[in-house]
């Protein structure tokens, strides 16, 4: 009997993928979030690997990011409806990475106006967008049904103010850090920053699709705002000014350290990219043994080193 119950329990666990609504959390007055699992995209998690948020005003709801499929977008809308009866007015996309914008069609259907950085057009006109979509479909199969890769209704170049219900929500493009089209969104009334993938909590950032030097500008901007809450694209939210400053500085320190070491390895030691990749973890630990405590440090850092190598090499060439 015990064995039967045990088997049933395992089967039940495997068949139950977490729904978006199950993760819904109230974060502050009128501010909510849904939280994807910290995994790679798979059929088991249906691509629900990123966070998304929404803010309720008297005039309507403003949503930040659309999750990674049409179906997850629809589930997210159901979650919003469970706590807000106001119309969903705007969807602001922090950056055009698939886990943040693939749910856009679901929001279009409920009449939301979508806003993203103008880089979205560049991204969508690159054949890579279509080939990535195909490879994602291979992984997710029917879970990607109904998903369309479409541009936003409004493109922001530098800054836009979203006026809703006597509030001014500030949308800014400060850096090309995580991607060429990162947006930072600031909600003054609750002193909250929606940071997309620019700030990581207890994790190492992925430095492969933007520019690490430019990324530092975005972190400085977030520090300068002195927010009470920072909403990241993955992982737990950051709360409290001091804690946020500490975490923002850790992300900043990691980027500064890896850049400094690689600069020396190229400029002084003349090392090639393969050697830099294989030595980087050891060199980072020598600089600061605290890095040993960070999750996935040894997995992500050599990949980051690969990208930073070419970035720093180019900078050296231009000097
Ligand atoms: Zn991203």
pLDDT per position as a tens digit, 214-247: 999 999 999 999 999 999 999 999 999 999 999 9
Residue 263 and residue 149 share a domain: no
**Bridge partner residues of 286 (DSSP):** none
Residue 262 and residue 227 share a domain: no
Q: Supply the pLDDT for residue 295.
A: 78
Domain count, the chain: 2
Please give the distance, rounded to the nearest whole angstrom, from the Cα atom of residue 94 to the centre of ligand 1: 9
Please give the distance, rounded to the nearest whole angstrom, from the Cα atom of residue 233 to the centre of ligand 1: 7
Mean pLDDT of 105-109: 98
The answer as to whether 266 is a domain residue is yes
**Bridge partner residues of 31 (DSSP):** 28, 55
The answer as to whether 33 is a domain residue is yes
Q: Supply the pLDDT for residue 209.
A: 84
Q: Supply the pLDDT for residue 319.
A: 86
Q: Which two tokens stand for residue 244?
A: 């946020």
| Domain-ending residue, one of 173, 208, 239 | 239
| Domain-ending residue, one of 239, 261, 279 | 239
Please give the distance, rounded to the nearest whole angstrom, from the Cα atom of residue 95 to the centre of ligand 1: 7
What is the per-residue pLDDT across 66-106, written as a single tens digit (0 to 9) for each?
A: 999 999 999 999 999 999 999 999 999 999 999 999 999 99
Q: Supply the pLDDT for residue 205.
A: 87
Please give the distance, rounded to the nearest whole angstrom, from the Cα atom of residue 234 to the centre of ligand 1: 9
The answer as to whether 143 is a domain residue is yes
Please give the distance, rounded to the nearest whole angstrom, from the Cα atom of residue 8 to the centre of ligand 1: 37
Q: Supply the pLDDT for residue 215.
A: 95
Please give the distance, rounded to the nearest whole angstrom, from the Cα atom of residue 10 to the centre of ligand 1: 32
Residue 69 and residue 189 share a domain: yes
Distance CA 214, CA 11 (A): 47
Residue 202 and residue 176 share a domain: yes
Residue 199 CB: number of other CB atoms within 10 A?
26
Q: Which residue has the tokens 């947006």?
A: 183
Please give the distance, rounded to the nearest whole angstrom, from the Cα atom of residue 4 to the centre of ligand 1: 42
Distance CA 272, CA 251 (A): 26
| Domain-ending residue, one of 218, 239, 260 | 239
The answer as to whether 8 is a domain residue is no
Q: Are 116 and 92 in contact (CB under 8 A)?
A: yes
Please give the distance, rounded to the nearest whole angstrom, from the Cα atom of residue 97 to the centre of ligand 1: 5
The pLDDT-based confidence of 296 (bands split at 50, 70, 90) is confident
Q: Is the pLDDT of residue 171 over 60?
A: yes
Q: Supply the pLDDT for residue 11.
A: 47
Please give the distance, rounded to the nearest whole angstrom, from the Cα atom of residue 178 to the centre of ligand 1: 7
The pLDDT-based confidence of 255 (bands split at 50, 70, 90) is very high
Please give the distance, rounded to the nearest whole angstrom, from the Cα atom of residue 11 to the centre of ligand 1: 33
The answer as to whether 6 is a domain residue is no
What is the per-residue pLDDT across 141-156, written as a single tens digit (0 to 9) for each?
A: 999 999 999 999 999 9
- For ligand 1, a single-atom ion, which residues have Cβ within 5 Å? 97, 197
Please give the distance, rounded to the nearest whole angstrom, from the Cα atom of residue 206 to the centre of ligand 1: 8
| Closest C-alpha to 52, from 101, 109, 118 | 101
The answer as to whether 49 is a domain residue is yes
Q: Is the pLDDT of residue 170 over 90?
A: yes
Which CATH number belongs to the domain containing residue 205 in this structure? Answer: 3.60.15.10
Residue 144 and residue 268 share a domain: no
Please give the distance, rounded to the nearest whole angstrom, from the Cα atom of residue 12 to the centre of ligand 1: 32
Average model confidence (pLDDT) for the chain?
93
Q: Percent of the chain at pLDDT above 70?
A: 95
Please give the distance, rounded to the nearest whole angstrom, from the Cα atom of residue 197 to the centre of ligand 1: 5
The pLDDT-based confidence of 157 (bands split at 50, 70, 90) is very high
The answer as to whether 317 is a domain residue is yes
Mean pLDDT of 260-270: 96
Spatial CB neighbours of 146, under 8 Å, sequence gap ≥ 6 = 69, 70, 71, 105
Residue 173 and residue 253 share a domain: no
| Closest C-alpha to 62, from 126, 112, 26 | 112
Residue 218 and residue 263 share a domain: no
Residue 180 and residue 86 share a domain: yes
Which residue segment(s) compose the domain that 72 sits in? Answer: 13-239
The answer as to whether 260 is a domain residue is yes
Q: What is the pTM of this model?
A: 0.90
Please give the distance, rounded to the nearest whole angstrom, from the Cα atom of residue 173 to the centre of ligand 1: 15
Q: Which two tokens stand for residue 105?
A: 């069609």
Please give the distance, rounded to the nearest whole angstrom, from the Cα atom of residue 265 to the centre of ligand 1: 28
Q: Percent of the chain at pLDDT above 90?
A: 87
Residue 309 and residue 170 share a domain: no
Please give the distance, rounded to the nearest whole angstrom, from the Cα atom of residue 101 to the centre of ligand 1: 10
The pLDDT-based confidence of 3 (bands split at 50, 70, 90) is low
Residue 51 and residue 140 share a domain: yes
Residues in the chain, overall count: 319
CA distances 106 to 66, 70, 71, 292, Å, are: 8, 6, 8, 42
The pLDDT-based confidence of 16 (bands split at 50, 70, 90) is low
Please give the distance, rounded to the nearest whole angstrom, from the Cα atom of residue 284 to the centre of ligand 1: 24
Residue 297 and residue 174 share a domain: no
Residue 216 and residue 255 share a domain: no
Please give the distance, rounded to the nearest whole angstrom, from the Cα atom of residue 304 to the centre of ligand 1: 14
């Amino acid at each position: 009997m015990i064995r039967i119950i045990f088997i049933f329990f395992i089967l039940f666990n495997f068949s139950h993928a977490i729904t978006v609504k199950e993760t819904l959390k109230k974060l502050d007055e009128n501010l909510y979030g849904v939280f994807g699992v910290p995994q790679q995209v798979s059929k088991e998690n249906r691509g629900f690997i990123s966070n998304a948020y929404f803010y309720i005003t008297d005039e309507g709801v403003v949503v930040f990011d659309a999750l990674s499929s049409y179906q997850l977008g629809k589930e997210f809308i159901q979650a919003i409806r469970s706590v807000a009866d106001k119309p969903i007015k705007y969807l602001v996309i922090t950056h055009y990475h698939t886990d943040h914008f693939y749910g856009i069609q679901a929001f279009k259907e409920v009449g939301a106006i979508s806003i993203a950085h103008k880089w979205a057009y560049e991204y969508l006109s690159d054949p890579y967008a279509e080939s990535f979509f195909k490879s994602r479909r291979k992984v997710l199969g029917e879970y990607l049904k109904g998903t369309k890769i479409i541009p936003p209704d409004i493109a922001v170049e530098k800054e836009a103010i979203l006026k809703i219900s006597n509030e001014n929500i500030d949308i800014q493009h400060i850096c090309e850090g995580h991607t060429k089209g990162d947006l930072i969104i600031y909600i003054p009334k609750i002193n909250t920053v929606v940071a997309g993938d620019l700030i990581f909590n207890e994790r190492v950032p992925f430095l492969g699709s933007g520019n690490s030097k430019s990324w530092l500008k975005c972190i400085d901007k977030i520090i300068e705002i002195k927010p009470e809450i920072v909403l990241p694209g993955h992982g737990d939210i950051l709360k409290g000014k001091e804690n946020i400053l500490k975490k923002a500085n850790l992300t900043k320190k990691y980027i500064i350290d890896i850049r400094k070491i690689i600069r020396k390895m190229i400029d002084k030691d003349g090392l090639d990219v393969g050697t830099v990749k294989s030595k980087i973890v050891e060199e980072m630990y020598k600089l600061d043994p605290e890095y040993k405590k960070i999750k996935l440090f040894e997995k992500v850092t050599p990949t980051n080193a690969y990208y930073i190598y070419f970035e720093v090499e180019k900078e050296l060439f231009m000097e």
